[in-house]
Amino acid sequence: MLTLLSLAKPSYADIRHSITSSVKLQVDAAASAAQRLGSSYSAAGSNITIDADSEGGLGSLTAGDAVGYTPIGENWSIKEAGQAFTFQESFTEGDATPDATSIDETAGTAALTQFGIVTTTGGGIAGDLDGSIDSNHQIDLTAGNAGTSATGQVISEIHVK
């Protein structure tokens, strides 16, 4: 029997084992986004005449100032008396054009210009946020306050060729 075992060919295998562990702790940052609204003007009508010297319209944009407009107001007349007529004039004043947004580099805050559409989210507060993985691959995560997340993982891989 020993003779038969000595005739057996040896078996070779490449085996690789790795263990990777990680903890990710995240605290959300505060953020604001602002969208500037533009100015708009329109005038429409039927069976009317607008005096050429007093046509309405938008003014010009300049930094730090909103747009003004000149209304047609009462400077129109009916073309054909006794016939139906319509007249409509509308104006939306857009946001002023700011010079610049200032940033306080020490505090990490920005003086946000008040535009027509502003979305602001508060940042997270770490509180007791914590995480660790011990030598036995035991994950220990402690929740933080609002706006935080904790993720722990252990990956064990075995490769056999």
What is the model's pLDDT at position 43? 79
Q: How many CA atoms lie within 13 A of 114 on its CB side?
A: 1
In a domain, 4, yes or no: no
In a domain, 85, yes or no: yes
* Number of domains within the chain: 2
In a domain, 65, yes or no: yes
Outline where DSSP puts E strands in 47-85.
48-50, 57-58, 69-70, 76-78
Q: Residue 43 in contact with residue 72, Cβ under 8 Å? A: yes
Same domain, 52 and 90: yes
Its pTM stands at 0.48
In a domain, 105, yes or no: no
Same domain, 92 and 127: no
Q: How many of the other CB atoms lie within 10 Å of CB of 53?
A: 6
Q: What is the pLDDT along the chain (161 residues), one digit of tens a residue?
A: 555 556 667 667 789 999 999 999 999 888 878 888 877 778 788 998 877 666 666 665 554 555 666 777 777 788 899 999 998 888 877 777 666 666 666 665 666 667 788 887 878 888 899 999 999 999 999 989 888 999 999 999 999 88
Domain of 128 in residue numbering reads as 14-30+122-160
80: DSSP letter: S
Same domain, 91 and 50: yes
Closest CA to 40 of 62, 15, 67: 67
